[in-house]
Structure 1
Amino acid sequence: MNLTLIQMTLIMACGAVWRFARPAGLPAEQTRLVLTTVVYYLLLPAMVLEVLWSADLGLHSFQYALLGMSSIAFAMFCIWTVGALFKFEDRRLGAMILAAAFPNVTYLGLPVLEQAFGGWARSVVIQLDLFAVSPLLFTVGIMVARYYGEEVVEKPRPLWLFFNAPPFWAAVIAVILNVNGFVAPVWLLGVLQKLSVAVVPLMLFSLGLALSWKALTVRNIPYVIPVIVIKMVLMPLFAMAMIGFLPINGEYRAAAVLDLAMPCMVLGIVVCDRYRLDSSLYAMAVTVTTAISLITLPFWHSVLMN
């Protein structure tokens, strides 16, 4: 795990250096937008199609969904309780709820789990993301953002439109093909595999581009501390306890819990910007929890593998 994280950190560091150096005059935000767009619309759907087409789908897919949703709900309740107790400002509390509840299961979880456990872990990551994390983010997460923030656009989009996304359509197609027993042609499988290979390094590089130490401010420390405790400690503990009631065994159990122990999801910054939550607070939470994860992930990995 330590060797894996060193490799991941170096790739993220390349993104951080790009943010500082700006080669060819390209700013980090513009570069990240291009890379994440390519990943979101082409490379990630290709990986989803490749993995879920041949994955062993069944009752355990529902179990991953139950584990992910219950863990997110637990984290939301914990941070909401803290916010209500200390009477945090709405726009800050909204950002804190998103930061504490939604882990970076794909952009960091996918490369970490694939390197730590092997290629089979991609199925765990994708099922947790598509069946639990993303559905909750685009429904409950958006409702939280609307409640604590304010709508920037004049006409809000219906929640169901957020599912009209390439990874979701790729998942639907893959599940249909999988359930009906269609075998992927060798030539198509080769194309999907070659596209999938680019996902991990580009995700890590984009994550490095997103990290900004300028977001670290003293005034946000009291708000980030409860996010760190809930996201990096309490949520993994709850997931470990919850998975004990589910028939998920062996390394699949460890992979699922470790994926939920990831730091804050980068995509939440977009949600905060759109609904005018405290984006600087959320950005600081992403940066700090990502840095702390270099310590907590090896710890949770050692605990789960013992």
Structure 2
Amino acid sequence: MLNVLLGMAAIILAGIVWRLTLGMKSADVMRSQLAQGVYHVFLPALVIHVLWQFPIDLNTLRTPVVAALSVLLSLLVAFLLYGNGKLIRTFMPGNEQKAIGALLLACAFGNFSYLGLPVLSQTFGTWAQVVAIHFDLLASTPILFTVGIVLARHYGKQGEGMHPLLSLFQVPAIWAAIAGLLLSAFSIPMPAWLDKALTTLGAAVVPLMLLSVGMALRWQSGWLPRIPVLLPVVIIQLLIMPLIAWSSAIGVGMPEKFMAPVVIEAAMPTMVLGLVICDRFKLDVALYAEAVTLTTLLSLVTLPLWLQLIS
């Protein structure tokens, strides 16, 4: 896995260099355009292609169950640590509510697609992409657009837009997942021309996602006092969540082949998409961005350790 992570780190580094070259404002515009392309075209193509070819069985249910337990229990741990605001008031007085909301999201929702897909596919083979898709789109994303949005509204400002459940069904990859599952369930053959088209589109997902992650990483001056506030995010996201996933996978009878990919998927760093949600609901975007940066950098160390531990 080390060589895989080093290769991905090189692409992320290229994204960082690109951001520094373009400047913050231009880089944010460029990253947004890249993310929109992945969000609306490339990721849905990859999702429908993978799920269409993968047979529906008990693992189609097991992985989302493990994912839901991992996300919700991690969120509970985060709430117990951050919910009363004492830790934040001690090290970051002022705007505690905005910080709590951002930190709860940072603890519970990992970069399961943007980083999970490339890590699993490069480490275990392309078949493991289905684990990332099941984990994210059948569990984490629905929880994000329901429980996560409710929390963001509570701790931030009432954002514009529709009900969270309706927002969920505006996610293109969700519809792609539904379509892929139905096509697989009814054993509909995939035309060769469509197979080739979806393969080509899906191949763009990994490099564009990694570039986008690199362009999203940022750090502010005066970071030292915020380390105690960010430390629980690191512990929950990189240590506790994979432990929950591991024990949950054993509890649901996860086959050995799927065990390591599920645990590695749960060990992903904080998701990049949360920056958009924090901005929309006026949470502490800068603090959330630091959580993304810190957990992403540390995951280059913790992911190989988890793979060694579970293999």
Shorter-chain TM-score: what band? Answer: over 0.9
Mapped to 2, the partners of 1:215 and 1:189 lie a distance apart of 48
Which residue matches 2:181?
175
Mapped to 2, the partners of 1:215 and 1:188 lie a distance apart of 49
Mapped to 1, the partners of 2:275 and 2:22 lie a distance apart of 22
Q: Which amino acid aligns with 1:222?
A: P
Mapped to 2, the partners of 1:2 and 1:66 lie a distance apart of 29
Q: Which amino acid aligns with 1:49?
A: I
Aligned positions of 1:189-228 closer than 5 A: 189-214=195-220, 217-228=223-234
Q: In the TM superposition, what is the alpha-carbon distance from 1:182 to its structure 2 partner?
A: 0.6
User: Is 1:36 equivalent to 2:35 in the alignment?
Assistant: yes
Secondary structure, counterpart of 1:57 in structure 2: coil
> Of 123, 141, 144, which residue of structure 2 is paired with 1:134?
141
Which residue matches 1:20?
20
Mapped to 1, the partners of 2:25 and 2:235 lie a distance apart of 36
**Conserved? CA contact 2:85–2:100, under 8 Å:** no
User: Is 1:161 equivalent to 2:160 in the alignment?
Assistant: no
Aligned positions of 1:1-306 closer than 5 A: 1-22=1-22, 27-84=26-83, 87=86, 88=88, 89-153=96-160, 156-162=161-167, 163-214=169-220, 217-305=223-311
Query: How many corresponding residue pairs?
Result: 302
Which residue matches 2:93?
none
Q: Which amino acid aligns with 1:99?
A: A
Q: In the TM superposition, what is the alpha-carbon distance from 1:217 to its structure 2 partner?
A: 2.0
Which residue matches 2:91?
none
- Normalised by the length of structure 1, the TM-score is 0.95
Secondary structure, counterpart of 2:251 in structure 1: coil
Q: In the TM superposition, what is the alpha-carbon distance from 1:172 to its structure 2 partner?
A: 1.5
Mapped to 2, the partners of 1:169 and 1:160 lie a distance apart of 14
**TM-align CA RMSD:** 1.6
- Normalised by the length of structure 2, the TM-score is 0.93
**Conserved? CA contact 2:75–2:104, under 8 Å:** yes
Moved more, 83-92 or 168-177: 83-92
Secondary structure, counterpart of 2:282 in structure 1: coil
Q: In the TM superposition, what is the alpha-carbon distance from 1:173 to its structure 2 partner?
A: 1.4
Q: Cα distance 1:216–1:273, how it changes in 2: closer, same or farther (>3 A)?
A: farther
Q: Cα distance 1:26–1:74, how it changes in 2: closer, same or farther (>3 A)?
A: closer
Unaligned ranges ≥5, structure 2 = 89-95
**Conserved? CA contact 2:85–2:97, under 8 Å:** no
**Conserved? CA contact 1:215–1:281, under 8 Å:** no
Secondary structure, counterpart of 1:221 in structure 2: helix
**Conserved? CA contact 1:216–1:284, under 8 Å:** no
Mapped to 1, the partners of 2:14 and 2:8 lie a distance apart of 10
Secondary structure, counterpart of 1:66 in structure 2: helix
Q: In the TM superposition, what is the alpha-carbon distance from 1:213 to its structure 2 partner?
A: 2.6
Unaligned ranges ≥5, structure 1 = none
Q: In the TM superposition, what is the alpha-carbon distance from 1:214 to its structure 2 partner?
A: 3.2
Q: Which amino acid aligns with 1:141?
A: G
Q: Which amino acid aligns with 2:164?
A: L
**Conserved? CA contact 2:219–2:289, under 8 Å:** no
Q: In the TM superposition, what is the alpha-carbon distance from 1:34 to its structure 2 partner?
A: 0.9
Deviations 1:171-215 (A, max 9, x none): 111112111111000111011001111110110011101011337
Mapped to 1, the partners of 2:83 and 2:270 lie a distance apart of 21
Q: Which amino acid aligns with 1:2?
A: L
Secondary structure, counterpart of 1:27 in structure 2: helix
